[in-house]
Amino acid sequence: MAFFIASSPHAHNRRSTPDLMKWVAICALPGLVVQTYTFGWGTIIQLILAIAVAMGLEALTMIARKRPPISALRDNSALVTAWLLAIAIPPLSPWWIVVIGLIFAIVVSKQLYGGIGQNLFNPAMVAYVVLLISFPVQMTSWISPQQLQVNAMPIGDAFSLIFTGFDSEGLSLQQIRSGIDGVTMATPLDALKTSLTAGNTISEALAQPQFSGLAGIGWEWVNLAYLLGGLMLLKLRIINWHIPIGFLVSLTLVSGISMLLSPGTTGSPIFHLLSGATMLGAFFIATDPVSASTTVKGRIIFGALIGALVFIIRSWGGFPDGVAFAVLLGNMCVPLIDYYTKPRTYGH
């Protein structure tokens, strides 16, 4: 009988790594559909571009390492990394944002550490943070949801903006965002932070047009769609409940306590749960089997740490949404968490 040794992720079920990665992408489809409906065709264009670039970089890197590229492409890890990065960036970001981001995700964060199972950090989040710090204008140029736009942007204009910087009428993205073809707005998290910094109350901040009864127009439905996909992952036992529950419960408790101690100066727990990348982070990013904690108690602590860090960064950090930074900080703490939560050896 042959004995095979393989790198992580190690799953306690009969699914292979390609199968696990495939189901992660399938369960992300509800969020992708709602995100495309909310922000237009740019999301689909970015996804197709990201998958093509990621597969190409994965193959070239494996060839450079003198290893067969087919095995690396078949594990679908590059597909999931490309998928997560494509839906995390603004839909009309220039094409080179995706290319630069995937170079850091596939080549630097993954392959230079030895490939799948060897990376210390979530590759997609490494790419996102590098892009956010290096190109803050492009990475914060979200357009308003289509519900607030005068006219929905056709797919041709979205394609032209991504690859040339202008639409069919010669308008740039900044001109479109400034009101010529849409509504001037930041993301709900950014708008709330800016309004509170200016001395306004929560009620005054939430009176802006991009907010609805629960969170931000469009964003709440995107988060609910990713929640649905996350529940599908749990149902199929692709992921365990420990990290998502730890993440969401921690974020709810910390934001709730903050609201009780300082009413009128922070968003409600519902607002934080349904804004930004909360559900995407809880079910699809923090649960990365390679860079997350491996023990049962450790996963709960890992998720709770990320949830608390998300609220801290959103409230007092320099960026409106802190999911990517929180996940990377949590990845740094994984060796320490695993060391102190490893199960005791039987008989000791």
**Distance between CA atoms of 104 and 225, rounded to whole angstroms?**
28
Q: 0.85 cut: is pTM over it?
A: yes
Within 10 angstroms of residue 298's Cβ, the number of other Cβ atoms is 23
The answer to whether the peptide bond before residue 90 is cis (omega within 30 degrees of 0) is no
SS (H, E, C) 222-235: HHHHHHHHHHHHHH
Q: Tens place of pLDDT for every residue, the chain, 348 residues?
A: 555 555 556 555 567 888 999 999 999 999 999 999 999 999 999 999 999 999 999 999 999 999 988 888 888 999 999 999 999 999 999 999 999 999 999 999 999 988 888 888 999 999 999 999 999 988 988 888 877 776 778 899 999 999 998 888 888 888 777 654 444 456 788 878 777 777 777 777 777 777 776 788 889 999 999 999 999 999 999 999 999 999 999 999 999 999 899 887 788 899 999 998 999 999 999 999 899 999 999 999 999 999 999 999 998 888 888 899 999 999 999 999 999 998 877 776
CB atoms within 10 A of CB 1: 2
How many whole angstroms separate alpha carbon 126 and alpha carbon 143?
A: 24
Q: Other C-beta atoms within 10 Å of 307: how many? A: 32
CB distance 242 to 303 below 8 Å = yes
The residue ranges of every structural domain in the chain are: 16-185, 219-338
Residues 309-322: tens digit of each pLDDT? 999 999 888 888 88
pLDDT in tens, 247-278: 999 999 999 999 899 887 788 899 999 998 99
Cβ–Cβ under 8 Å, residues 314 and 320: yes
